[in-house]
Each structure stands twice: as structure tokens, then as C-alpha cells.
Structure 1
Amino acid sequence: MFSWRAEVMPGVWVAFTDAEAGNLALHVGDDPLEVRRRRAGIEAALGLGSRPFRYMNQVHGNEVAGIGAAAAPVRGVDAPAGGVPTADAMVSLGEPLAVMVADCVPVVLVGDRAEGEPPVLAVVHAGRPGVASGVVPAAVARMRGLGTAGLSAWIGPSVCGGCYEVPGDMRDDVAARVPAAWCTTTRGTPGLDLPAAVRSQLQEAGVSVEYSGNCTLEDENLFSYRRDRNTGRFAGLVWTDTGTAQR
């Protein structure tokens, strides 16, 4: 069910699902009832109880939505209770969050706050447009605005630079904004290394990277849109134990 899962700090967990967990996206032509059943099954397996994961309508942009107590009403993308924001990053004060991918880079971030306050959690959908437009730095800035200092990140499975072939002008355009994205594929053609680009953005923002996942195109246990356009989506997840969320 999980390609990777760990308690990353006391009471705070990060995981990335795999193909065994099934498709978790509602926008790929799958039976919506089956998708919701799979989502509920994961939540039950993780002991979330009445705290479901919050998902987004991901559009390859750089908007960051605040969830629950982390919402700022002046920003239109922030979601009302139970709502689904149109955004490519979400931030919460302990509410469980999910990001869906099938080659794009799923990023999970956790930041601690003062003793007795819930941690700041975030998930980011960092595809090529989002990397180029700075969705990762935007999420980090939103987290810091909620009072967190020390931040850590987990980069989930995504297509590697050796496999992600793009036109030369596209590589040049993205690399002009994020130089670490520039690469050559294993076939000697122009490529983009999105995991390296995300890592560079996190490090430039002073965020430590604790984990990086496998290449989705090379791992048959993961969904990959470049391998099969009729594929599902796996998820990057972050949640807290009940006591941690309420402390």
C-alpha cells in the first residue's frame, strides 16, 4: 500500500502510496465510488478516524491553499470547512493533507512551532509549470507565515531527469528560472530534472530534505503518466496522531 512511510517527528507521519493502494484520483475516469472507498480504506488503515485527508483540484499553478485554522480569508483559494480548493499546495495546522501525482513531484513539508501548538503541515504538487512558477517556495513562505522556523521536506517518487525528455526550448525556459532543472536524459536528449529542481528550491529556502523517492517511470509499482496515459494517481500524505493535532 505504501512505497514509503515513517513517523518523521513525534506524532507526525509522512507516507507515499503505491499502485497496490489503487488510484486515488477522481479526475481520471475511474468509478468515483471506488476511489472514495480506496481513500477511506487508507484513512482507516492509518487510524485517522473522523479526520479525512484533504485533497485539492490540482491545476499546475502556484496557488497555496490554507486549510482549516491555516486559512487566510483574504485569499480566494482557501477552502471552507470540507471544501476542495483549486490549488497546487495546501497548508494546515495539523489537518491531514494529500497530494496526487503520477510523474510530477509530490512534496511533503513539516514545520514545528512553539511547544503546545500543532505543527504546520504542507503538501505540494510540483510539475514542470509549478516548479517554474515557484509553487514550492510559495508553500514554504506560507508555512513560515504561520510561525514555524525549522522546516523539513520529503520528496516523493517522480520521473527522474534521466527519463524526462523535453524539447530543448522547454528545457532552456525552465532552467532559466530554476537552473538545477537542466539535464540531459540517458539517451543524450534534452531533459528536465524536476526532483533536483525542487531540492534546489528547498535548500535555497533553508529547508532540509530528508528523503527522495524512486523514479516513477522506472518503478512498475508506481503510477506513471509517461508510461501509460490511462493511469491512476498515487498520493503523498501527511498527518498527525490525534493527540499531536490537538496539543
Structure 2
Amino acid sequence: MREEKGQPSSLFMLQIWCGTDDGLTAGFTTRRAGNVALHVGDDPLAVVSNRETMAESLGWDFAAFTCAEQVHGNDVYVVKTEDIGRGRTTRETAIADTDAMITNEPDVLLAMFYADCVPLYFHDSVTGAMGLAHAGWKGTVSEIAVKTVEKMREVYGVRPENMRAAIGPSIGDCCYEVDESVLKHVRPLLDTSTEEIVRPNEIGGRAQLNLKHLNRQLMIKAGILPSRIEISSWCTSCRTDLLFSHRKEKGATGRMMSWLGRKSR
């Protein structure tokens, strides 16, 4: 992901997806765009204003913003025309208990929120279907990446080998130390790339966990070709000058937003 020209360090664009014949926009905000989540105690009017500014920067109507109330689960919601705009100004109107949204509707901007968890992006140019997911460690080990692909195949008839995917900025294994309470759920998912995902440290029973690469492995398990998965190198904890980190900032922080949408032609 690269910074959007004209918006220094406030928007990261997934440039390999944007500006194509598909009419896609995809990316991730930084802390310089302000807090864009309504659940962390900031003035709701200020949060909505930040969202409106972001929409204007992207050249989108704010009415297209469609948000979920995330719960660190693995439920996948199919966004239809009547859902467009849910959650853009209040939490009460957001799509409830959902950590992944899929749609093939144009002119809807899917949006999810993060401060260390992993943003997952999915797109199929054949059917026009797209998906956005929020993968904390709980969502990751409950295979939200796989469930998102399976739901897109069920609802839209996508073929995973035709899909492309991306993994956005999140906490990296450099900063994400976990103990046995997490590792016991990770181990059953590991394949031959174990060392890339779990790196034991000197403290007994603890390890550095690479959630990005674990989600990449799960995308491959779901049938997406490795060559069609982009992955960000940004660590939210290392770069608190630019990104929010719940762990590094001990919970006293805002949230970034991932977005994915396609304008009608």
C-alpha cells in the first residue's frame, strides 16, 4: 500500500487494485485521517466528520459508507442494496455482530475498523464480487478468511483461483507476543510454514505470532493462488507515529478504517 497523492500519510491506497477497469477503490486510513470509529469514546460528531472527509478525499458520496459492528467473530454478511449506508453515522444502525462483509453491489463502500487486527480484502473480477474482513487472533483462528471465500463462492459463484486478495497493515510478529492461551488455537492451523508464523522466544511458553502470514496461509487453503495475494509490510505497533496500535498504546487510541468499493460505470 502506498500513500495517496495529495493526502500525505492520511490514506494508503491499494494501488494494484485502484484505477483499473473494475472501477475499484481499496485502501486503509492512518491516524492522520483521525479516529474513524464510533466505539472508542470520541465525540461522535468528530468521528462522522472524519469519515465524511475521507469520503470526499476518495471522491465518494458519504451515503455509500456501510459499516459493521465487529465482535471478533467469523460471521460473514451479504450486503444488499437496502443495507447501503448502514452504520455510517451511528453504531445502532450498523450491521450487527459481523466481522466480514461481501457484496456484488456497485456504489457501496464497505468499511471496517482496526488498531492492530488484520484487514483482509477479496475481489473477483469475473463476477464483480468483493469482500472485506476484520481478523483479530480470534477471527483468524476461526478461519474468517476461509469462511469469507466460501460465502463468496456460495452466494456469487466465484472460483477462488480467479480471486485476488490483500492483507493490510496490522501488528507484526516483531511486536505481537502471545502465550499458550492463543498458541493452542493456532497450532492446529499450521502447515509446513510454521517458522514463518510462530517464532518461539526466550520466555517459556510464549512466541511471536505473525497474523498476516497465518491469514495468507488460510487464504491459500481457501483456494486463492499465492501469486494473487498482496501483503503489507506495515506494523501498527512499530509505527504509532502513523498508525493506531491498541497494544502499544494500551487501549487509549483511535481506529483506522479499511475500505473497498466499486463505482457503477
Q: TM-score range by the shorter chain?
A: 0.7 to 0.9
User: C-alpha root-mean-square deviation of aligned residues, in Å?
Assistant: 2.2
* Unmatched 5+ stretches in structure 1: 72-78
Aligned to 1:218: 238
Whether the aligned pair in 2 keeps the contact of 1:91 and 1:122 (CA below 8 Å) is: yes
Aligned to 1:55: 67
* Unmatched 5+ stretches in structure 2: 1-9, 87-92
- Structure 1's 199 and 51: CA in aligned 2 closer, same or farther, altered over 3 A? same
Structure 1 residue identity aligned to 2:118? V
Structure 2 residue identity aligned to 1:236? S
Query: 1:239 and 2:250 equivalent?
Result: no
Aligned to 1:206: 223
Aligned to 1:147: 157
Query: 1:105 and 2:118 equivalent?
Result: yes
Whether the aligned pair in 2 keeps the contact of 1:162 and 1:184 (CA below 8 Å) is: no
- Structure 1's 135 and 205: CA in aligned 2 closer, same or farther, altered over 3 A? same
Query: 1:134 and 2:143 equivalent?
Result: yes
Q: CA deviation at 1:242?
A: 3.2
* TM-score between the two structures when normalised by the length of structure 1: 0.85
Query: 1:89 and 2:107 equivalent?
Result: no
Aligned to 1:124: 133
Deviations 1:197-244 (A, max 9, x none): 10000112222212324111111201000111110110111112331x
Whether the aligned pair in 2 keeps the contact of 1:109 and 1:123 (CA below 8 Å) is: yes
Deviations 1:108-142 (A, max 9, x none): 1111235xxxx111110000110111111111111
| Comparing 202-211 and 29-38, the one that deviates more | 202-211
Whether the aligned pair in 2 keeps the contact of 1:65 and 1:90 (CA below 8 Å) is: yes
| Comparing 164-173 and 57-66, the one that deviates more | 164-173
Distance in 2 (CA, whole Å) between partners of 1:187 and 1:111 is 43
Whether the aligned pair in 1 keeps the contact of 2:212 and 2:231 (CA below 8 Å) is: no
Structure 1 residue identity aligned to 2:103? S
Aligned to 1:190: 207
Could you list the runs of 4 or more consecutive aligned residues of structure 1 that deviate by over 6 angstroms after TM superposition? none
Q: CA deviation at 1:7?
A: 5.4
Structure 2 residue identity aligned to 1:105? V
Q: CA deviation at 1:51?
A: 4.4
Tell me the matched-pair count. Answer: 231
Structure 2 residue identity aligned to 1:216? T
Aligned to 1:75: none
* TM-score between the two structures when normalised by the length of structure 2: 0.80
Query: 1:2 and 2:24 equivalent?
Result: no
- Structure 1's 213 and 241: CA in aligned 2 closer, same or farther, altered over 3 A? farther
| Comparing 30-39 and 207-216, the one that deviates more | 207-216
Q: CA deviation at 1:143?
A: 1.2
